[in-house]
A and B are shown apart, each in its own frame.
Chain A
């Protein structure tokens, strides 16, 4: 049981936090701009490299340098929206999906160009896990990731329900035409959607990169799980996306636990298939997700 918590549940919550933060952006963009953003994983990668570069110059803890990664991701997202997505807004949204697919490649080749295609670590050296109550062994990073994600989730909840901007975002996501009738500035809402989505993506990218290592495919490899999380939480429901991300993360890790016999339930090499099968099951039986998101 302790092994289950230490080796499966906590890592599951950690990777789940990464998915959660990534899926928030995907869900909000899907809700407000109405397209599946295929470059979101690579936006995470860009954010991760932003912090990695900052670490080279300022030798402090990477999490303290998060603002650099966030800034880089925000600038990238706003630029891409301005130059590549906005010109296509009047067309069927599938064109924007195609454009975002191309942007994924652009982000990735930029990462390869500027930061080499190999693995790079934020901090070298082995770190000892923190031991709680003599039995729970949690790495410091996992604890930081889970706690920070929790704080972000709470802040997001209050932002969406209490602030004017948050309500306007939900309104545009709900009924874009009515939002225009009410005189809301849709372009401003869109800009803020990118700002928030990119900030969380960068944070998630740094978490993921610190947990393993930074490499140009980091974000793309997480994309499928984040899509699954966004669908699970219900499109246009950022809080649902957080729950969805955590569920997918835990499901992936615990699926490799020795549930029924001494063998893992699912071979660890198929871990990343778990998200896909959850998504398939959802699309078949409950495409609106757990929390009654919109079905686009």
Chain B
């Protein structure tokens, strides 16, 4: 089976300084893939490069059997990719409903109302906040708005940058459950996560990124039990 997303030899950075140096990565359809790694390793940069937000200098990207190298973000959204950035991921003065609506602009769905209903079905908590400015919500609810907005374009692939950053453990559970629900709907997820242990547990695949290079890739469970990975990134004790 061919991968939904396939990244080959990707090099990218800021102002000519490469941050990621030759990343190879495959993401299979209908799977959750997790990228872990130390701070500053270039995880966010990798996601942003896939989504054409950071300048790529070398390498290629295929998506759903199509070469998408060099396409702009606004062209990737209609093809079925969307992203939730690490921080500042809602429009604070727009209401929750407006935030969701903005998610449809780059790739208007055929039946907007139906998409909105199905997104709200995922995040029922948002239903009675629809008229409220997103900036007034709690961190966890904001994350839901952000994910909801990204889902409004009916993506095949969802890129998530640390969806649980700064959330309470209770919310962490909720978000991880939601990710499983989203996958059930046929959306493939590629996410960066700091809570490596929990993330690898729900993930189908994991990738460890260290200073701009792919350190190791494998099935989630396998990485969880890999000695080197455990020692360096999971805080020692076996899972």
Q: A residues within 8 Å of B by Cβ?
A: 161, 164, 167-168, 170-171, 174-175, 177-185, 236
Contact = CB atoms under 8 A, between A and B. Distances in A.
Contacts of B53: 180-181
Interface of B: 51, 53, 73-74, 76-78, 82-83, 85, 88-94, 98, 101-103, 105-107, 149-150, 153
Contact of B98 (A167, A175, A236): A167
Contacts of B51: 181
Contacts of A164: 101, 105
Contacts of A161: 98
B92 A174 contact: yes
Q: Which of A175, A180, A181, A236 is packed against the most chain B CB atoms within 10 Å?
A: A181
Contacts of A185: 74
Contacts of B90: 175, 178
The 3 closest A-B pairs by CB, nearest first: A183-B106, A183-B77, A174-B91
A182 B85 contact: no
Given A179-B91, A181-B51, A183-B74, 6 more contacts: A161-B98, A177-B88, A181-B53, A182-B150, A183-B106, A236-B93
Contact of B85 (A170, A171, A174, A177): A177
A180 B73 contact: yes
A233 to B, nearest CB: 13
18 contacts: A167-B98, A170-B93, A174-B94, A175-B92, A177-B85, A178-B91, A180-B53, A181-B51, A181-B73, A182-B105, A183-B74, A183-B77, A183-B82, A183-B105, A183-B107, A183-B153, A184-B102, A185-B74
Given A177-B85, A182-B105, A183-B105, A170 B91 contact: yes
A183 B76 contact: yes
Contacts of A167: 94, 98, 101-102
B73 A168 contact: no
B85 A183 contact: no
Contact of A170 (B82, B88, B94, B153): B94
